[in-house]
């Protein structure tokens, strides 16, 4: 068992928002300083943008910077069960109630998946907690800058080789846990102090329960391998995928 990280401040604490790390199409990530009795720690807080608020002014009033549309996520939801039939119908029909149910579940799902893969030893931010539309996790970076996304990290050749090895280890770990990331790319990998960190798991897929589970894994692998190939590495995505099947 991986012990709870010792940097994490427990209650009582106060949170102070230090500002936006990154604002994107689906979510905004803010840096939070959590101060306890004797010390403080930094947390990344991912705020999911409200999907039903259309007017720009209303979004700004809520403190977010960009609008967003509801993600068409039918493919991702397959294999994920809503226990009550009333809820299931609401989700299928995308009623307001259904959208609320889904929105609640993005943060819970992201938290749970990251908890599982963190416990299994993968390099992911430690998931700290979640609420309806926000998800708190370990911040990757320091007081001067957040970790860059892999695509922007300017790795030299030796670092690229190292990052690729870490990618394979991370994929093996996720696959052993029965999870496909579902949106893996050089944008959802961070590079910090020689470590490749996997982020952004709300759409993560249960490989066994989802009829397209292996398809998602295949797409992830080819996508990210193509990025490394373009950087000059001699990698074969199909071979990597075939190798991962042993871990399912
Ligand atoms: N734990 C973290 N520590 C540091 N930076 C982070 C962390 N989590 C996310 N970020 C930054 O915030 C960005 C967006 O986070 P994430 O990929 O989880 O959301 P997203 O759903 O892709 O958002 P969007 O689709 O709107 O870009 C990341 O690319 C990264 O730059
Ligand atoms: Mg992302």
Domain containing residue 184: CATH number: 1.10.510.10
The total domain count for the chain is 1
Whether omega before 106 lies within 30 degrees of 0, making that bond cis, reads: no
Within 13 Å of residue 93, how many CA atoms lie on the same side as its CB?
9
Write out pLDDT tens, residues 71-83.
444 445 544 556 6
User: Distances from the Cα of 152 to the Cαs of 21, 159, 189, 228, in angstroms?
Assistant: 15, 13, 10, 13
User: pTM for the full model?
Assistant: 0.85
Whether 66 is in a domain gets the answer no
Whether 80 is in a domain gets the answer no
Q: Could you give the CA distance from residue 219 to residue 72 in angstroms, rounded to a whole number? A: 18
Give the residue numbers spanning the domain of 157. 150-245
Residue located nearest, by CA, to atom 13 of ligand 1: 22
Whether 229 is in a domain gets the answer yes
Whether 212 is in a domain gets the answer yes
Whether 22 is in a domain gets the answer no
Write out pLDDT tens, residues 17-40.
999 999 987 899 999 999 999 999
Residue located nearest, by CA, to atom 11 of ligand 1: 22
Whether 133 is in a domain gets the answer no
| Closest ligand 1 atom, residue 187 Cα | 29
Q: Ligand 1 test: best mutation among 19, 24, 107, 197, most atoms within 8 Å of CB?
A: 24
Whether 240 is in a domain gets the answer yes
User: Distances from the Cα of 169 to the Cαs of 66, 74, 158, 162, 177, in angstroms?
Assistant: 35, 29, 17, 11, 13
Write out pLDDT tens, residues 190-228.
999 999 999 999 999 999 999 999 999 999 999 999 999
Whether 211 is in a domain gets the answer yes
């Amino acid at each position: 068992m991986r012990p709870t990280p010792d940097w994490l401040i427990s209650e009582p604490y106060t949170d102070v928002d230090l500002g936006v790390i990154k604002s994107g199409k689906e979510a905004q990530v803010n840096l939070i300083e959590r101060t306890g009795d004797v010390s403080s720690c930094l947390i990344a807080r991912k705020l999911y943008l409200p999907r039903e608020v259309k007017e720009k002014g209303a979004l700004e009033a809520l403190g977010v910077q960009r609008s967003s549309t509801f993600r068409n996520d039918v493919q991702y939801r397959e294999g994920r069960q809503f226990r009550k039939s009333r809820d299931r119908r609401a989700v299928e029909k995308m009623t307001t109630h259904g959208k609320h149910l889904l929105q609640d579940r993005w943060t819970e799902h992201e938290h749970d998946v990251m908890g599982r893969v963190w416990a299994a030893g993968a390099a992911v931010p430690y998931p700290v907690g979640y609420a309806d539309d926000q998800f708190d996790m370990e911040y990757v970076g320091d007081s001067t800058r957040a970790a860059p996304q892999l695509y922007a990290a300017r790795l030299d050749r030796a670092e690229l080789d190292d990052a690729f090895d870490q990618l394979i280890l991370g994929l093996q770990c996720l696959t052993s846990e029965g999870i496909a990331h579902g949106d893996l790319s050089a944008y959802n990998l961070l590079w910090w102090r020689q470590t490749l960190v996997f982020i952004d798991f709300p759409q993560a897929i249960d490989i066994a329960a989802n009829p397209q589970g292996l398809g998602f894994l295949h797409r992830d692998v080819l996508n990210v391998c193509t990025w490394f190939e373009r950087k000059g590495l001699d990698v074969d995505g199909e071979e990597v995928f075939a190798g991962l099947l042993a871990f399912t």
